[in-house]
Chains A and B, each alone.
Chain A
């Protein structure tokens, strides 16, 4: 077996306790998993299972208390590292729950923001951004400010802002949790279509079992605190998939039931 693209080893997190108080409980402990190149991995767990904390540590906007993060076999963040390296030098993109668009930038300028700060804003980058905007149906809204867009449009903008600079690994933290069911299905289809275009490595966190099955190649179920991997499920469905019809597929009910039983 080849070396995984991203590997998390014995990751642990405990928030610092206030002076004189008992130490805080472990949020995450001895959590290990890996994801190979081009894989769509979904993580599912009960609410409050430290899913966001886990992604924040991988993205290095929050410090791990212990454990290592390896990229293509090299240790990027060693146990107890003091200095954060947000985005692991642009190797990890992160689509957060909130769209985090810059309100003073239009759609196109928000999408181009990563290229701009990376000094890669050229004709090729602009063309790529235009392609992505078209792919998610935002053509005609390039000059709109975020407050003029619907929730779904903002999500799409936030998604392609991460895709535009092509990070090898993309983390997604319940990106479609805050939208209505219909928009969510549409966004899931958009995501799968974009993913088929480039087959990026994705780690997608959700609390929706159907979403985890519809999108992922493999699903990891997380335990309650302290969070660990409870079980691993391979999703057998062929791609390209149709999110709307996923429920009707043979074997969907079994996978769904197996995961649901694990989450209890």
Chain B
């Protein structure tokens, strides 16, 4: 019942947003602001023709490769350095620098180095996913309950078993919190990097549309990127729900708060 209600409310919000959009395009004209109907029909035409799917495929490929290359070492590193707090401390200013650095400012550099193909986009995605995921995992490793470690050692667990059965599972929620932020951003920066210079991808579609004053094309490509980001977000949430069944559900927490 609650689920059903949530769905109907979402549809309602969607209708209101579309209404504002429609109103806007009436006021400013479809030359500047395409209508929802035009955008959605272009979006589906582009999907049937295969163009949207092919361009989105490039973007997904860049984001996925970048996410794997960036996230895997970012997850491993905090575990590897767990027993070396000095090394973590030495690395810290560099990591913060890397984390705070505006990654899109690197895009022109990567395009110069790696060309306008897929490699430069992967590089930008890596540079953003790595730092987000490093700090997310690090906070998970640091939040480790030392009493659980002592318990495990007491019943006979060795160093490797402690890492596998206590430290890693304890950090999984943080790893997911990081992925939930990093992966959609990964898609977004792949698109933006394509905007700067490329010959394919959703960002390329946006760029082409704008150059041809085809606003509907721009909107359809943006809609495509939004759908991708949503899909990635749901995929992460779904995987998290399956892997983290052992956690007290968040909803019950909210209920506790509202009843007190």
Contact = CB atoms under 8 A, between A and B. Distances in A.
Given A96-B147, A102-B165, A87 B246 contact: no
Contact of A147 (B147, B150, B156, B248): B248
Contacts of A90: 155-156
A118 interface: yes
B155 A165 contact: yes
A113 B153 contact: no
A87 B154 contact: yes
B144 to A, nearest CB: 12
Contacts of A87: 153-156
Nearest to B145: A100
Interface string B165-203: 110011010000000000000000000000000000000
A90 B152 CA distance: 11
Given A61-B150, A96-B147, A100-B147, A113 B155 contact: yes
Contacts of B153: 61, 86-87
Say what secondary structure dominates the interface of chain B. Answer: helix
Interface in A74-111: 86-87, 89-90, 92-94, 96, 98, 100, 102-105
A260 to B, nearest CB: 32
A117 B156 contact: yes
Contacts of B147: 96, 98, 100
B40 interface: no
Contacts, number: 61
B148 interface: yes
Given A61-B150, A98-B147, A165-B155, A117 B246 contact: no
A186 to B, nearest CB: 24
A117 B154 contact: no
B174 to A, nearest CB: 13
B157 A117 contact: yes
A87 B162 CA distance: 15
A145 B172 CA distance: 16
Interface centre among A87, A89, A165, by most B CB within 10 Å? A87
Interface in A52-75: 59, 61
A92 B156 CA distance: 10
A200 B148 CA distance: 24
Nearest to A88: B154
B226 interface: no
Interface residues of A, number: 27
B50 to A, nearest CB: 44
B154 A113 contact: no
Interface in A213-253: none
A255 B148 CA distance: 38
Interface centre among B151, B165, B246, by most A CB within 10 Å? B151
B245 interface: yes
B154 A93 contact: yes
A178 to B, nearest CB: 15
A151 interface: no
A19 to B, nearest CB: 19
A136 B56 CA distance: 57
Contacts of A116: 165
B247 interface: yes
A87 B157 CA distance: 10
Interface of A: 59, 61, 86-87, 89-90, 92-94, 96, 98, 100, 102-105, 113-114, 116-118, 145-147, 161-162, 165
10 contacts: A90-B155, A103-B246, A104-B170, A104-B172, A114-B156, A117-B157, A118-B155, A118-B156, A145-B245, A161-B155
